[in-house]
Amino acid sequence: MKLRKQHGANKLKEDLVLRKGTAMFKLKASKRWYKEAAELEKSYDISAGPEILEFSSPSDSEASRPENVQVGFSKFMHKLRISIGLSVDELAKKIDVDREQLILIENKTGYKAPPRTLSRLAKVYNLPTASFLQLAGATKATDERLQADILRFAAESDSFEKLSKEEKKLLGELIRVIRDHAST
Amino acid sequence: MTRPYYNTYLTDGTTYALIEATLFEGISDVNLKDHKEKWLPLLLGARQEANARPAQGQHVARVEDAHWDWSRKVKTYRVSLSHRHFAVECAADTQGLMQLELTHRSRIDPGQHLIYIDLLSVAPWNRKKLVERPRLIGVGSVLFTQAVGTSLEEGFSGRVGLHSLPTSADWYRKQRMQSFGPDPAYPSGLEYFEMSPDEAEKHIQRVSE
């Protein structure tokens, strides 16, 4: 991989990006190819990206996620991060997401995190994505037991920054339930 | 400051004539403004219409990228060494946008780097499912080929990976990408595709023949 010169922070507000030292690939296509490509593409709408998920509409999923479940999820996210000993900044860097999103996930009840961020969180915590997305309200909740378990977690865990022995046990139990849910 | 660019062509959706267009490296504030002021109203309108007709649920998939926040993404990653951005402009409008990630690894050749297409989106007036007659055709082909070329330029041998909805999956198969089937990491059946170095080379050859 070629090294590219990084712009300084003072360039952040500029409306353009220019990567000095990096050649831009310049497509040299024949007119025949353009015509053939258009002939094929006219039958399709082309898109790509992991965020092009067909989630149920936010109103549907939130309606099935009571506010106390949303509170429980935020608390769960906070405790999980503490359990792996990472700061918000460290976790954001590790999974390549915005730190602001992680702060909102942990602190703002009902915050709808982007699907990509949730998928990456599920991956770093080694949790099944489908169950995780349900708890996060990104997909329609289909399992009341999961909701009940996260409520129990929210009610029984306290707000200390360091996990107590009881909290670790509680956290471990909830993780097991979520993993079991995915395998049933 | 000027962005690197080169001239390319798109096809007029009515006359099928080739129209000169420009592919830029970098997404400018003008592109972001186009997305916010020209794309989003159409995308959100189409989504609203689809939601009002739940029986035609497949319409939701047509506008699922209405929530993509290009502005946030571009401003977050425009100085990142791990991302590259491209925009296609034609007729004073932004016709397509793409964000590439350079940190992913290949499934075909484990351990090898590839270019991952994190986001590729085409202006709503160019989508056949949103308008009766797309204004311009070929934006997806031009951007996808740019991703393949960028992979070569980065020394990744043309390897490209991406996730696709079923609606585009056949097109990627026709680009001779290898399918790894629905990715279990995503609940809605997003299919993972990857282009091998051999196929990338053939693709670029076909383009220039």
Find, among A168, A91, A176, the residue nearest to A131 by Cα: A176
Q: Domains in chain B, ordered, with CATH?
A: 5-208 (3.40.630.30)
Task: Name every chain B residue with its beta carbon within 8 A of the beta carbon of A50.
Answer: 118, 163, 186, 190
What percentage of chain B has pLDDT greater than the value 90?
65
Do the domain assignments include residue A49? no
CATH (domain of A160): 1.10.260
What would the pLDDT profile of A64-116 be if each residue is shown by its tens digit? Answer: 456 667 778 888 898 889 888 888 889 999 988 888 888 888 887 777 787 77
Going by the DSSP 8-state scheme, the letter that residue A14 receives in this structure is: S
pLDDT above 90 for B141: yes
Q: Which residues of chain A have pLDDT under 70?
A: 1-22, 51-68, 138-144, 156-162, 181-184
Q: What is the pLDDT of residue B56?
A: 47
C-beta of residue A89 within 8 angstroms of C-beta of residue A102: no
Do the domain assignments include residue A133? yes
Yes or no, beta carbons of A16 and B167 under 8 Å apart: no
B122 at the A interface (CB within 8 A)?
A: yes
Cα dist. B43→A71, B40, B48, B127 in Å? Answer: 32, 5, 9, 11
Return all residues near A165 (Cβ < 8 A) that are at least 6 apart: none
What is the bridge-based pairing of β-strands B178-182 and B191-195? Answer: antiparallel
Q: How many domains is chain A built from?
A: 1
Task: Name every chain A residue with its beta carbon within 8 A of the beta carbon of B118.
Answer: 49-50
A20 at the B interface (CB within 8 A)?
A: no
What would the pLDDT profile of B157-196 be if each residue is shown by its tens digit? Answer: 999 999 998 889 999 999 999 999 988 777 667 899 999 9
**Residues 83 through 102 of chain A touching chain B, CB cutoff 8 Å:** 96, 98
What distance in Å separates residue A159's CA from the closest CA in chain B?
31
Do the domain assignments include residue A135? yes
C-beta of residue A22 within 8 angstroms of C-beta of residue A37: no
Q: Who has greater pLDDT, A141 or B100?
A: B100
Do the domain assignments include residue A122? yes
Nearest to B185 among A12, A51, A129 (CB): A129
Q: What is the pLDDT of residue B51?
A: 60
Do the domain assignments include residue A90? yes
- Order of all β-strands in the sheet with B93-101: B136-137, B5-12, B18-25, B83-90, B93-101, B115-122, B160-164, B191-195, B178-182
Q: Who has greater pLDDT, B140 or A83?
A: B140
- For residue A137, the enclosing domain spans 58-183
Q: What is the pLDDT of residue B156?
A: 96
Yes or no, beta carbons of A1 and B113 under 8 Å apart: yes
Task: Name every chain B residue with its beta carbon within 8 A of the beta carbon of A21.
Answer: none
Do the domain assignments include residue A11? no
Do the domain assignments include residue A40? no
Do the domain assignments include residue A75? yes
pLDDT above 80 for B86: yes
Q: What is the pLDDT of residue B57?
A: 44
What would the pLDDT profile of B26-83 be if each residue is shown by its tens digit? Answer: 999 999 999 888 988 887 777 666 666 554 444 444 455 655 667 777 777 777 778 8
What distance in Å separates residue B175's CA from the closest CA in chain A?
10
Question: For chain B, how big is the Rg over CA atoms in Å?
Answer: 17
